[in-house]
Amino acid sequence: MEKERLNTAKTITIYDIAEEAGVSASTVSRVLNGSASVRKEKKERIQKIIEKYNFKPNALAKGLSDTATKNIGIIAADVRNPYYSALFVACELAAEKAGYSVVLSNSLGENERERAQLDIMMQQRVDAIIQMGGRVDDLITDDSYAEKVRGICEKTPVIVTGKLDKAPVHSVVIDESNAMDILMEHLFALGHEKIALVGGEMKVASTYNKYQKYQENLRKKGIKERGEYVVNGTYDPESGYECTSKVLDLEERPTAIIAINDFAASGAVRAIKEHGLRIPEDISLVSFDNTYIAELTIPKLTSIDYDYEGYGRVLIETAVSAAEGKNVEMMQMITPKLVIRESSGKLENGV
């Protein structure tokens, strides 16, 4: 049987354009990129032919001869998480404006995949790599991972949303500590002192930092920390539900709960309602990330926002500048902001 190739219209190249215009390929290239002046007459003739064929230069060939591909690789932990999808889309939009494209892949919590993706992006010759979540969230940097990234940094700038010790990467991180301060100030102002912290793993740097600040805030306020008010878990609704249930079953239950993210908070809402308690009358609930989940729950969640659009812009600006060899700060902070909705309220009376 003969092998049939259906989709095989002739690929038109810069040479075809050149021939039809009666000029050399170089000239076509010049008008394509505006890299040098071409006589107006010729220029127009060439442009007409380009349009006629709707010619688009082969990006592979261009990337091969150039040094840049105008592609930025993004490795996200999981775009199904609204935090990452919001940030990713923000990056995509910012990149578009800067004349770059983004290439996304999800590490999905698997170390192996994350490393493989780094390799693929290098092979693809992206001009910079942005890593959002995953290994760069680890409180203790994985040594072999750091080494891998170090190798990459020699050729391609790497920007992370967390930290990576021992590797010259650019960091653009949320000021988690500040975020926790804001949240606790809010709760203190409402009269809460019995405050629980649910969800999240201590091996994740951002969670650990929040925990530190949680302690510090209590201490400053002269409130003794109760170990049973801090229940670790993961970052999903199920975990939020379980952690919250535990806290609510305590003899002396808290009057306010801080969930590690909106997902966990949504689980917390369920647990609180099942315990026959009202939000915020009986218990206040606040969380981090301000994803659209915060508007889906009933009541809507008071949550910490990061201005995703701005965050994405900074990430891309950093990536682009670094890719173009400009000098960029190695460490930048994103300032969080409190968005007050319905889930937090004044402490009415003791429990």
- Beta carbon nearer to DNA, 36 or 108: 36
341 binds, among DNA, a copy of itself, none (CB under 5 to 8 A by kind): none
Shortest Å distance, C-beta 29 to DNA = 3
151 binds, among a copy of itself, DNA, none (CB under 5 to 8 A by kind): a copy of itself
Residue environment code for 106-128, b if the CB has 16+ CB neighbours within 10 A, otherwise e: bbeeeeeebbebbeebeeebbbb
The 3-state DSSP class for residue 187 equals: helix
Q: Which of positions 62-91 make contact with DNA (CB under 7 A)?
A: 62, 64-66
Shortest Å distance, C-beta 189 to DNA = 58
* Spatial CB neighbours of 52, under 8 Å, sequence gap ≥ 6: none
273-276 — which CB contacts under 8 Å span 24+ positions? Answer: 274/245, 275/245, 275/248
38 binds, among DNA, a copy of itself, none (CB under 5 to 8 A by kind): DNA
Tokens 């969640």 belong to 301
The reply to whether 232 sits near DNA by the rule CB under 7 A is no
Structure tokens at 310: 């701005």
Report which of 255, 270, 258, 271 is spatially closest to residue 231, judged by C-alpha positions. Answer: 258
The reply to whether 15 sits near DNA by the rule CB under 7 A is yes
The CA-atom distances, in angstroms, between 84 and each of 44, 79, 158 are 44, 5, 18
Q: Are 251 and 277 in contact (CB under 8 A)?
A: no
- Beta carbon nearer to DNA, 14 or 319: 14
The CA-atom distances, in angstroms, between 289 and each of 22, 212, 222, 243, 305 are 58, 18, 28, 19, 5
Shortest Å distance, C-beta 234 to a copy of itself = 14
Q: Which of positions 20-39 make contact with DNA (CB under 7 A)?
A: 22-27, 29-30, 32-33, 35-39
Shortest Å distance, C-beta 22 to DNA = 7
The CA-atom distances, in angstroms, between 270 and each of 113, 236, 281, 297, 319 are 34, 13, 15, 9, 41
Structure tokens at 35: 């890299």
Q: Which of positions 259-318 make contact with a copy of itself (CB under 8 A)?
A: 266, 269-270, 273, 292-293, 295-298
Shortest Å distance, C-beta 321 to DNA = 19
212 binds, among DNA, a copy of itself, none (CB under 5 to 8 A by kind): none
- Beta carbon nearer to a copy of itself, 111 or 212: 111
Give bridge partners of residue 338 from the DSSP assignment: 304
Residues that bind a copy of itself (CB under 8 A): 3-9, 11, 54, 56-61, 63-64, 69, 78-80, 82, 85-86, 88-89, 92, 96, 101-106, 108, 113, 119-120, 122-125, 151, 153-157, 237, 266, 269-270, 273, 292-293, 295-298, 322, 325, 327
